[in-house]
């Protein structure tokens, strides 16, 4: 999956976090780091989650609709199901 030309799925988390940090102003997005250290954006409605792939952690973004976008990165107050936050 690509967003604004950047591959977001299956990459080292640091690469995606760096891309987002470098581009969030251009995207007119907010830059929030949640309790797990995942970057997220309420305005764009996504959280860049990570998942273990063998001995590596790889990115697995979660996108939500505008109805769920408020505080979407907050593991305690978002509308994202609790099971999502337990996947590592």
Task: Give the 3-state secondary structure of residue 67.
Answer: helix
Q: Cα(18)–Cα(35) distance, rounded to whole angstroms?
A: 18
Alpha-carbon distances, residue 68 vs 16, 65, 72, 81 (angstroms):
22, 6, 6, 11
> CB of 72 within 8 A of CB of 79?
yes
Torsion of CA 7, 8, 11, 17, to 10 degrees: 110
Please report the pLDDT score of residue 85 as a whole number: 86
Please report the pLDDT score of residue 77 as a whole number: 92
User: Splitting the chain (88 residues) into consecutive groups of 10 residues, what average pLDDT does each group show?
Assistant: 88 92 90 90 92 90 92 92 81
Please report the pLDDT score of residue 84 as a whole number: 87
Q: Where are the domains of the chain?
A: 2-77
Please report the pLDDT score of residue 53 as a whole number: 83
Please report the pLDDT score of residue 7 as a whole number: 93
């Amino acid at each position: 999956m690509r967003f604004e030309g950047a591959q977001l799925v299956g990459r080292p988390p640091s690469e995606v976090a760096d891309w987002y940090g470098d581009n969030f102003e251009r995207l007119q997005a907010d830059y929030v780091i949640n309790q797990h250290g995942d970057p997220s954006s309420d305005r764009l409605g996504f959280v860049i989650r990570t998942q273990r792939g063998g001995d590596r952690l790889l990115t697995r973004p979660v996108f939500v609709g505008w109805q769920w976008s408020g505080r979407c990165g907050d593991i305690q107050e978002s509308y994202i199901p609790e099971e999502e936050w337990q996947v590592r």
